[in-house]
Amino acid sequence: MVRFVTSSRRRIHSSTLALPSSEFALTHCSSISVSMAGKSPHNKNCLLKVIILGDGGVGKSCLMNRFVNNHFDDHSFHTIGVEFLNKEMRIKNDTYTLQIWDTAGQERFKSLRTPFYRGSDICMLTFAVDDESSFQSLTMWKNEFIYYSDIKDGSAFPFVVVANKVDIPVDKRKVTEEEARNWCKECGDLPYIETSAKDAINVDLAFDMAVDVWSRLEAEMDRQNLAHDTIKIRQGQNLRKDTCCGLF
Ligand SMILES: Nc1nc2c(ncn2[C@@H]2O[C@H](COP(=O)(O)OP(=O)(O)OP(=O)(O)O)[C@@H](O)[C@H]2O)c(=O)[nH]1
């Protein structure tokens, strides 16, 4: 059975995969998808838009470059607006193409980045462990994302919290793991990971984790949709039965 649902899921055959030229193309292709209910997604390619948010200088561009090109730049420039790179990855038997959007963290670029939040499947909230104020800003980033992405339910969205720059000397660290994990707990048990784009620590794992969180939430959403559809069908059957009884 093939079921049409509206969700953020986008499955495409790898042969048809092309870099969208604009955000319009992205949000457009995310509006309708085909879900193979009860079937495995093997041999399908799932395009996921991953957006990285956080204060300027926390290492968002470096995380993306480490993940996609396995490269680290000691003197990377501030991002203006947004940039994106694609990377294909395989988790268990499923193939995903991550379209990773690196955004400008500086306040003056707010109007250039926020139009790109819509259509995101995953949001990585990033701070640097040697920068207390970047940690304090996480609530602002989460709220900004929820507001501009126009998602209905922030508590059911796949956020991942990334604490970057764990390579720095211990005495330079300003945010403890405990402090950060407590914040994640207060925000509804958000997944948390510590990374270093510089030393390539946990960067792949952070993206694996993000996709894992996304697929678990997506599976839960599928289950709820199915239960909802079943109830509607049952109600429809009861209605027809009642009508028949009235006629005969
Ligand atoms: N020690 C250390 N430095 C890092 C790490 N990641 C990034 N940096 C450095 O932090 C600085 C800022 O990195 P970017 O990746 O440009 O930061 P950003 O968050 O993209 O900044 P904006 O574009 O302004 O939003 C650069 O000098 C990087 O070399 C890391 O894991 N460890």
Summarised one tens digit per residue, pLDDT across range 84-120 is 999 999 888 889 999 999 999 999 999 999 999 999 9
Q: Are 97 and 86 in contact (CB under 8 A)?
A: yes
Distance CA 210, CA 202 (A): 12
| Torsion on CA atoms 20, 21, 26, 32, rounded to nearest 10 | -70
Distance CA 114, CA 160 (A): 19
Q: Is 105 in the pocket of ligand 1 (CB under 6 A)?
A: yes
Per DSSP, the residues of 80-99 read -SEEEEEEEEEETTEEEEEE
Q: 55, 58, 138, 204: which to mutate for ligand 1, most atoms within 8 A of CB?
A: 58
Distance CA 78, CA 175 (A): 23
How many Å lie between the centroid of ligand 1 and the Cα of residue 56?
Answer: 8
Q: What is the pLDDT of residues 142-193, one digit of tens each?
A: 999 999 998 988 889 999 999 999 999 999 999 999 999 999 999 999 999 9
Q: Is 106 in the pocket of ligand 1 (CB under 6 A)?
A: yes
Q: What is the pLDDT of residues 207-217, one digit of tens each?
A: 999 999 999 99
How many Å lie between the centroid of ligand 1 and the Cα of residue 206?
Answer: 16
Residue-level pLDDT at 75: 84
Mean pLDDT of the chain: 82
Q: Tell whether the model's pLDDT for residue 2 goes beyond 70.
A: no
Distance CA 123, CA 135 (A): 16
Q: 55, 62, 166: which to mutate for ligand 1, most atoms within 8 A of CB?
A: 62
Q: Is the pTM of this model over 0.90?
A: no
Q: Is 78 in the pocket of ligand 1 (CB under 6 A)?
A: yes
Q: Is 62 in the pocket of ligand 1 (CB under 6 A)?
A: yes
Q: Are 49 and 31 in contact (CB under 8 A)?
A: no
How many Å lie between the centroid of ligand 1 and the Cα of residue 239?
Answer: 61
Q: Tell whether the model's pLDDT for residue 6 goes beyond 60.
A: no
Residue-level pLDDT at 224: 84
Residue-level pLDDT at 21: 36
Which residue, among 190, 168, 170, has the nearest Cα to 180 in the 3D structure?
Answer: 190
How many Å lie between the centroid of ligand 1 and the Cα of residue 131?
Answer: 12
Q: Is 164 in the pocket of ligand 1 (CB under 6 A)?
A: yes
Which residue, among 15, 10, 13, has the nearest Cα to 33 in the 3D structure?
Answer: 10
> Of ligand 1's atoms, which has the minimum distance to the CA of residue 74?
29
